[in-house]
Structure 1
Amino acid sequence: MKRGIPSAIIVIAAALLVWTAWFWRPVTPEGDVHRVLPIAPQPVGGDFRLRSVDGPFDLAELRGQVVLVYFGYTWCPDICPTNLVVIARALELLTPTERDRVQVLFITVDPQRDTAERLAEYVGWFHPDIIGLTGGEAEIAVVARRYGAAFRRYESSDSAMGYMVDHSAASYLVDPEGHLALTLAHATPAVDIAAAIRSLLPASGP
């Protein structure tokens, strides 16, 4: 099996970027499977240590920045590519100075398939400033629960690997002091994500 990102992902990402920028007016379907996953009752956030393509990664190293955390996986057929396009669009709505104080993290919920190298290649198709993170299954489960995310693996004959992963699709904003500040629902428009990020950025000096 090839380890590179399928060319279809590139096409999907490009098409979604154009479509999202000009036409998308998102709504959350009443029957969305992600709404019925068990969610942690009181997300508390907090620091975590996982692994990127460059080695160990500690959230505490991002003090002073606003951090957007999203849980997904590279084999996700639709939800993850759509949300990553919207998040990338939100980053582009920020000024360069604002963007320098923001970091987006994509944490896999499928560490069995998502190596650090695959994650880096995948997120790079959406925006060069997104960092992909992986770790042990237990480690990721702990981080997800702290942030109120949920996921579950299920068997699927439609997948080349024999399974897929249902997961919640919210984005989580961590303020510059490292506290979980906001949870943004799936289908939050890019302009609203950008506004939420700006609301957490420290005021510029004189």
Structure 2
Amino acid sequence: MYRLPLSKLILLVAIVSSMSGQAAQQDKVLDIGDMPLGGDFTLHSSQGEFSLEQLRGQVVLLFFGYTKCPDVCPTSLAFLTQALNELTDDELKSVQGVFISVDPKRDSYEVLDEYVNYFHTKLIGVTGSETEIAAVAKLYGAQYYEVALEDSAFGYVVNHSAVTYLITPEGILRFVFPHETPPSIILEAIRHVLSGN
């Protein structure tokens, strides 16, 4: 299997802040803010309180989105799923995906569970109050805002940044992947971090 050289992976990450995402049919992909620092946070899932700190020892792949997203979120999660499916069982034990909903009004815990489980069992859906979500988004430079839709049963869409964040087992934000980063690159980064590099 072809493995992308690490130098190309690093180059991709270095230029992410200047790259624009692809627009969805009804919503717009926003750029992230200044290169984020990341950090620990606490939100909530169907299993109760969720803390990033509880995932120490695992590679975490973090994504901000919402379940009614027409195509940006499904595309990103599908690419992430492809990368996860290439991992061995042993590798997969040390990886966890986290989907943070920025639409707490519509994304209940039950809705989130059904949504992320459709993609992969190693994904967990979390959310919180608007204030809690905004605080986490600020840590990671994530941007989002609602846009009303006239004559639509959805009522509104949420324009949002659509990057995938890779956090090391030590809790350090290591890589930021723009929307539609190929699964092979995400896989290469996961394995690079799992190897202790």
Q: What's the CA shift for 1:40? A: 2.7
3-state SS in 1 of match to 2:119: coil
Distance 1:177 1:163, change over 3 A: same
What is the CA deviation profile of residues 60-109 of structure 1, one whole-angstrom value per residue up to 9, with x for unaligned ones? 01111000000110000111111111111100011111110000000001
Aligned length: 174
- Does residue 1:40 correspond to 2:33, yes or no? yes
Aligned to 1:201: 194
Q: What's the CA shift for 1:42? A: 3.5
- Does residue 1:181 correspond to 2:174, yes or no? yes
Q: What's the CA shift for 1:31? A: 6.7
1:168 maps to amino acid: S
Aligned to 1:162: 155
Segments of 5+ residues of structure 1 without an aligned counterpart are 1-27
Distance 2:113 2:175 in 1: 26
Aligned to 1:24: none
Q: Say if 1:40 and 1:146, in contact at 8 Å, map to a contact too.
A: no
Segments of 5+ residues of structure 2 without an aligned counterpart are 1-18
TM-score in terms of structure 2 length? 0.83
Distance 1:29 1:145, change over 3 A: closer
Distance 1:158 1:77, change over 3 A: farther
Distance 1:83 1:159 in 2: 24
TM-score in terms of structure 1 length? 0.80
Q: What's the CA shift for 1:41? A: 1.4
Runs of 4+ in 1 over 6 A off after TM superposition: 28-31
Aligned to 2:99: 106
